[in-house]
Amino acid sequence: MAVDVLLGLQWGDEGKGKIVDFLTPKYDIIARFQGGPNAGHTLEFEGIKHVLHTIPSGIFRDNVINVIGNGVVIDPVILKNEIEQLEKLNVNVKEKLLISKKAHLILPTHKLLDKASEIAKGKHKIGSTLKGIGPTYMDKTGRNGLRVGDIKSEDFKEKYNRLKNKHFALLKDSDLIKGIKSLENEFLVCIDYLKNFEHIDSEHFLNNASENGKKILAEGAQGTLLDIDFGTYPFVTSSNTITAGTCTGLGIAPNKIQKIVGIFKAYCTRVGSGPFPSELQNEVGETMRKIGHEYGATTGRERRCGWIDLPALKYAIMINGVTELSMMKADVLDSFEEIYVCTHYLQDGKEIDFFPFELSDNTQPVLKKIKGWNMDITKIEEEVDFPIELSNYIKFLEKELHVPISIVSVGPNRSETIIR
């Protein structure tokens, strides 16, 4: 049985959590393959609004196993809090959640290193969430990291102290380490808490499940344009957010991957620093932010808003091998009489239709005007009732992107989702 992949095609915050939750009844296993608690997957249903940071978005559905894969980095403190919040909603997390032994742990000192690095960058800071993600991946590739599988080993404390002291040496001239003792105590309490959950050889578990006919959905975090290799470097995350990350983040072979679902907003947003050619730094952008509640699910920061960017979207589709698309938050554009699409860039005096090596502050969007639908679509339950302008917008995007749009989201709730 093949594995399907679902991931974001923009700068994150596309609405992946909602679609994973919506599609979960079709699958037996949902598996996160990269990122960490810098993710914020928001789900809304039955009057509940919940944000998941580390746990896969299938956790609210019955009879589905959720796997935190080896490519994920885990903050035990955040994960413990996340589990406890779910248990308050009567979710039996212990029954539904499996954690890869090979997933790396975020230490308190990783977060201090993250903060020190961002301070040192000054005005050139990248807009890190300061969750310790980058330093943890650095220790992983530097072969210094601590993994979930180390938690139950007799020499865990020795390994922990060795890595902590390495970090102390890097932070020796910083005031940031003054409060480390209380952070360390909390961390160690949470480490003990995680011993109560099942730790697995996730690559064996997932491949065996696949061989036995189980349906698996791999869930990505962040978005393609934040990929460490193919995103808007250096304003990116520290992992591979693309389809290839499924293979390294879960131990799934490329030939096992079948359907690749790309998620994008009907417009575009990004959090933090970095280039954003179609950004609207005006009242229109502010209106999008207010209507779309565009504030980071993890940091609470305002998201920058702009028109949809086709060169970037085509690039993301190419890199990921996307087979079908889900368009999110179409309802945010309900009040616009006219909407615009970035079809090309003006860069260095030339008009280009591709995503270049580097986007500069001088890169300008070439915009195409499209008639908006200017009506409330949140009550629509079937595609046949779409206003003609929305149907035309979808057809235009499908023609430009050469990939079918199979799902359209017309509101934040699980029920406000139209299958085409």
Name the residues annotated as catalytic.
13, 41
Could you tell me if 163 and 144 are in contact, meaning their C-beta atoms sit under 8 angstroms apart?
yes
User: Do the bridges between strand 350-352 and strand 338-347 make them parallel or antiparallel, or are there none, so unpaired?
Assistant: antiparallel
Beta bridge partners, 339, equal 370
Q: Which residue has the tokens 């979710």?
A: 91
Could you tell me if 235 and 60 are in contact, meaning their C-beta atoms sit under 8 angstroms apart?
no
d(CA 392, CA 117): 47
Q: Retrieve residue 347's tokens.
A: 């860069």
Could you tell me if 219 and 64 are in contact, meaning their C-beta atoms sit under 8 angstroms apart?
no
Q: Which amino acid is at 358?
A: E
Could you tell me if 47 and 77 are in contact, meaning their C-beta atoms sit under 8 angstroms apart?
no
d(CA 74, CA 83): 13
d(CA 222, CA 272): 13
Q: Retrieve residue 203's tokens.
A: 């690559």
Q: Retrieve residue 379's tokens.
A: 């009550």
Please report which helix (H) or strand (E) contains residue 17, including its range.
helix 16-23
Please report which helix (H) or strand (E) contains residue 250, including its range.
helix 244-250
For the chain, the residue count is 420
